[in-house]
């Protein structure tokens, strides 16, 4: 049996998505796949409820084990340090792992995030992979100022347990330079690169319902469309006269504007808009509400001003989770084109 620990350099790096993608690909090859999240970091001393990532993977991989068994340990960062220092912890972790690993060919272990931000989390991950005898893949997010050399050094901390890395969220315009300049740098350090994955807005989208929850907004119509995914955000500002041509620049978007601007709202509804968000607490004109109902486009009403609402929406996108079924097809397509499954399986078999 092989254990694969998927960990990320930064929060929201795509660990859950990669676990699902690899897991479903393995299942398509006839392999029995398990999933285990060894540790969940929380900000509260007591964390209740089922972990949403574990629940989604439980469904996506059709796992038989109780979902509660997939993520058994929850600690604050402070408590984690003390727990890892306890000589009894390895036994407890192995016991929980064994409960979900029985008869599996591969167990996907979703690791801790923010390795690049916290040296203690990096040390904790090294300790966990030793306890569970796991190999490691690290997700590195692309940015114009990515500290590639520091990332390479941190990856090396896993020593022989490191299988390789995946560079994620690469803008289309940077794909070629990443392949020709960044990938060879890692190869020179003896680090295998399993994939350079392009940025895909759909994978980082949030549902209308998630936006409504985060904004504490009232959904005025079309509740049945609240599961639709929002990929982009546009603002209908008062200083210009945005019309259909303006809003046609982006698809699958949320449009935020004030409630007293029916002209802006109607122009947005004439394009690919997943929801309207009206700031300032002013309800829409009947004509706007009726057209939104005809198009099946939810209208969200918030009390806060436009700028405050935009900031909250951007925060929601920043912490978007891979927990929607609509994302699975696009994920499979991206991995099939840009991820070297053959090299990964050969590395796992060569453990």
| Domain identity same for 214 and 312 | yes
Same domain, residue pair 57 and 192: yes
Phi, psi of 229 (to 5 degrees): -90, 135
Scored b (16 or more CB within 10 A) or e, 127-160 reads ebbebbebbbbbbbbbeeebebeebbebbeebee
222: CATH: 3.40.1390.20
> What are the residues facing 276 on neighbouring strands?
255, 299
Residues 182 and 284 in one domain: no
pLDDT of residue 45: 52
Query: How many Cβ atoms sit within 10 Å of the Cβ of residue 8?
Result: 25
Same domain? 181 vs 240: no
Query: Is 147 in the same domain as 285?
Result: no
- Specify whether 146 is located in the same domain as 25: yes
Give yes or no: residues 265 and 280 share one domain: yes
Answer yes or no: do 172 and 241 share one domain: no
Residue 81: CB partners within 8 Å, gap ≥ 6? Answer: 120, 124
Q: How many CB atoms lie within 10 A of CB 85?
A: 9
Q: What is the pLDDT of residue 242?
A: 67
Q: Are residues 92 and 220 in the same domain?
A: no
pLDDT of amino acid 239 = 46
How far is Cα of residue 196 from the mean position of the Cα atoms in its chain? 16
CA distances from 21 to 17, 329, 341 (A): 6, 10, 10
Whole-prediction pTM: 0.78
Q: Which residues, at least 6 apart from 36, have a Cβ–Cβ distance to it below 8 Å? A: 70, 71, 96, 97, 100, 101, 107, 108, 109, 110
**Residue 12 sits in the same domain as residue 140:** yes
For residues 243 and 237, give the distance between their C-alpha atoms in angstroms, rounded to a whole number. 11
Furthest CA-CA distance within the chain = 67
The residues pairing with 300 across neighbouring beta strands, listed in sequence order, are 219, 277
Same domain, 71 and 219: no
pLDDT digit string (tens) for the chain, length 351 residues: 799 999 988 876 788 889 999 999 999 999 999 999 998 887 665 555 678 888 889 988 999 999 999 998 888 877 888 888 888 999 999 999 999 999 999 999 999 777 766 678 888 889 999 999 999 999 998 888 888 888 888 888 899 999 999 999 899 999 999 999 999 999 999 999 999 999 887 777 788 998 999 899 999 999 999 988 888 899 986 545 667 888 998 999 999 998 888 999 999 999 999 999 999 999 999 999 999 999 999 999 999 998 899 988 887 776 666 666 677 888 889 999 999 999 999 988 765
Q: What is the pLDDT of residues 294-342, one digit of tens each?
A: 999 999 999 999 889 998 888 777 666 666 667 788 888 999 999 999 9
Q: Give yes or no: residues 338 and 194 share one domain.
A: yes
Residue of 39, 28, 96 whose CA lies nearest to 65: 96
pLDDT at 215: 92
In this prediction, residue 48 carries a pLDDT of: 57
Distance CA 10, CA 12 (A): 6
- Give how many domains the chain has, as a whole number: 2
Task: Say which CATH number the domain at 166 has.
Answer: 3.40.50.300
Between the CA of residue 154 and those of 27, 116, 148, 264, what are the distances in Å? 31, 8, 10, 49
Q: Which domain holds residue 308?
A: 206-318
């Amino acid at each position: 049996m092989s254990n694969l620990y998927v960990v990320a350099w930064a929060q929201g790096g795509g660990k859950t998505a990669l676990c699902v993608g690899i897991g479903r690909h393995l299942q398509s090859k006839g392999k029995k796949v398990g999933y285990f999240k060894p540790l969940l970091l929380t900000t509260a001393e007591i964390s209740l409820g089922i972990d949403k990532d574990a629940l989604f993977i439980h469904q996506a991989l059709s796992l038989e084990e109780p979902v509660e068994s997939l993520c058994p340990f929850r600690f604050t960062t402070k408590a984690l340090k003390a727990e890892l220092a306890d000589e009894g912890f390895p036994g407890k972790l192995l016991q929980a792992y064994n409960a979900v690993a029985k008869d599996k060919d591969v167990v996907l272990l979703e690791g801790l995030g923010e390795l690049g931000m916290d040296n203690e989390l990096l040390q904790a991950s090294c300790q966990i992979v030793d306890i569970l005898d796991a190999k490691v893949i690290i997700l590195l997010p692309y940015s114009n100022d990515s500290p590639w050399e520091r990332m390479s050094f941190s990856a090396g901390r896993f020593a022989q347990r490191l299988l390789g890395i995946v560079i994620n969220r690469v803008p289309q315009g940077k794909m070629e330079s990443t392949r020709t300049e960044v990938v060879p740098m890692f190869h020179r350090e003896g680090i295998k690169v399993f994939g350079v994955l392009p940025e895909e807005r759909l994978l980082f989208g949030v549902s209308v319902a998630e936006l409504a929850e985060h904004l504490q907004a009232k959904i005025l119509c079309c509740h049945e469309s609240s599961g639709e995914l929002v990929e982009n955000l546009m603002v209908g500002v008062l200083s210009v006269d945005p019309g259909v041509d303006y809003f046609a620049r982006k698809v699958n978007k949320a449009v935020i504007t004030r409630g007293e601007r029916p002209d802006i709202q109607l122009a947005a509804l004439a394009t690919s808009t997943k929801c309207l968000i009206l700031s300032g607490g002013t309800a829409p004109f009947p004509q706007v509400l009726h057209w939104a109902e005809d198009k099946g486009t939810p209208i969200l009403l918030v009390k806060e001003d436009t700028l405050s609402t935009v900031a909250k929406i951007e925060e929601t996108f920043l912490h978007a989770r891979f927990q929607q079924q609509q994302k699975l097809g696009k994920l499979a397509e991206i991995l099939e084109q840009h991820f070297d499954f053959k090299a990964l399986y050969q590395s796992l078999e060569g453990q």
